[in-house]
Amino acid sequence: MMLIVLGNTEVSTIPGISVAGATPELTKLTPPADAEYLFYEKPKIIDVIPVTPEGHPTPAIITKAAKELADFPVIIVRGGTYLAPLVPHMHISDAVGRDFRKGKALPEAVEIIGRARIFGEQLGRLGLKEIVIGESTPGGTTTAQAVLWALGYDAKTSSASPDNPQSLKAQVIEEGFRRTGISRGDLANKPFIALEEFGDPMMASIIGISKGFGGEIVLAGGTQMLAVAALLKAMGEEMDRFMIATTKWVVNDRSSTFRETAKEVGIIFYSADLDFSRSKFKGLRDYERGYVKEGVGAGGATWLAVKKGFTAGEVAKKVDELYERLMEMGKG
C-alpha cells in the first residue's frame, strides 16, 4: 500500500526556490494536480500535468506508470495544501507551511501529528505489514534543509533543477535562523521546535502516520525524506523499521549530500535504477541530465513494482507510453 502525502509551503513561491511548477505561483497547484493525475488521464484542478518552467513532466508520471503495472493501492493524504485535490483523499489538515523567514512555519505541527497519528493507528489495526509513503511538496527541499541544519546535520538537499539553487536556499535558511536566533544544531534535541519553526505539513503528517502505524515504513522520496527520518530519530524512533526508497538521480546527485546524510541519520535506502536515456521524449531524457529526479513517491512506487516482478525497464517503458498518451491528448 502506498500513501501520497500532499503539502504546500509558502517557501515554494519564493522566486528561484522551486521548479515543481511552471511558475512559482503554479507550484501551489502541483500537489493536488499530481494526486489527480494518478487516478485520471489528466489533472482536474488544472488542465495539464505539473511541469518545470522548462516543460519537464512531473515525477507523478513514474508513480502512475508503476501503479498501472503493479496495481497497488494508493491513498492520497492531504497533509496541508492550499486546495483540496478533486479525488478522494484522507483529510488531515488544510494548514499550509508559512515562509519561515517571517514567522513560525507550522504552528499547527503538534495538532497535525496528533490527527495523522489517528489515521496511522487505523492502518496499523488493518494488519498491514508495511506502508510506503511518498509526497508532493513544492519547496520541500528548502524546508528539509532548514530542518536538517537546525537538527545539526551538515546537509545539502537535492533539487528538481540540475542547477540546485544552494546559495539561495542557504540565504533563505540563514534568514530564518536569524529570525529565531538559532545556529545550526541548536535544535538537535528539540525536533518539535525544528518542525514548527522550519518544517512543512507533509513532514508533520508523515511523522504522525509513522508513530500511529508502528510497523515497517518505506519513506518514498529523496532528501526531503531524510529530514522526516532525522526528525523521527530525534523524537526517539528507532530507524530499523524505516527505509528510504528513492531514485538513482537523487542518490547520484553531486549537488546534494544524500548518501552522507542517510548514513549520518542511520537509515538504509533503495535506489531505483530507472534509465530514461533512450526515451522518445526530450522531457523524459532530461531526467538523466538532472531535471526533476524524484517526487510523488516515484522511487518507492518503482520499488513496489520491482517487488511485484516488474523491471525498472518496464516501468520506464510504461512512462514513455503515458507521456505519449498525454501528447496525443494535447493534440486532440
Binding site for a second copy (CB under 8 A): 1, 39, 71-75, 78, 84, 87-92, 115-116, 118-119, 121-126, 128
Q: Residue 129 or 254: which CB sits closer to a second copy? A: 129
Closest approach, Cβ 272 to a second copy, in A, equals 21
5 phi, psi to nearest 5 deg:
-95, 125
Q: Residue 82 or 281: which CB sits closer to a second copy? A: 82
Nearest by Cα to 59 from 28, 77, 33: 33
Contacts 24+ apart (CB under 8 A), 172-175: 172/11, 172/14, 172/17, 172/101, 172/142, 172/146, 173/142, 173/145, 173/146, 173/149, 173/198, 175/101
End-to-end CA distance of the chain: 35
Closest approach, Cβ 310 to a second copy, in A, equals 16
**Contact of 292 with 59, CB cutoff 8 Å:** yes
Nearest by Cα to 257 from 308, 295, 304, 223: 223
Residue for grid cell 526530450: 282
Closest approach, Cβ 88 to a second copy, in A, equals 4
Closest approach, Cβ 34 to a second copy, in A, equals 15
Residue type at 233?
A: K
DSSP letters along 228-251, please? HHHHHHHTT--GGGEEEEEEHHHH
Q: Residue 125 or 178: which CB sits closer to a second copy? A: 125
Closest approach, Cβ 28 to a second copy, in A, equals 19
Closest approach, Cβ 116 to a second copy, in A, equals 7
Closest approach, Cβ 95 to a second copy, in A, equals 13
Q: Where are the alpha helices (DSSP H) in the chain?
A: 30-39, 60-70, 109-125, 140-150, 166-180, 191-198, 201-213, 223-234, 248-251, 258-265, 282-285, 298-307, 312-331
Q: Residue 118 or 329: which CB sits closer to a second copy? A: 118
Q: Residue 111 or 186: which CB sits closer to a second copy? A: 111
Q: Residue 18 or 81: which CB sits closer to a second copy? A: 81
Q: Residue 88 or 107: which CB sits closer to a second copy? A: 88
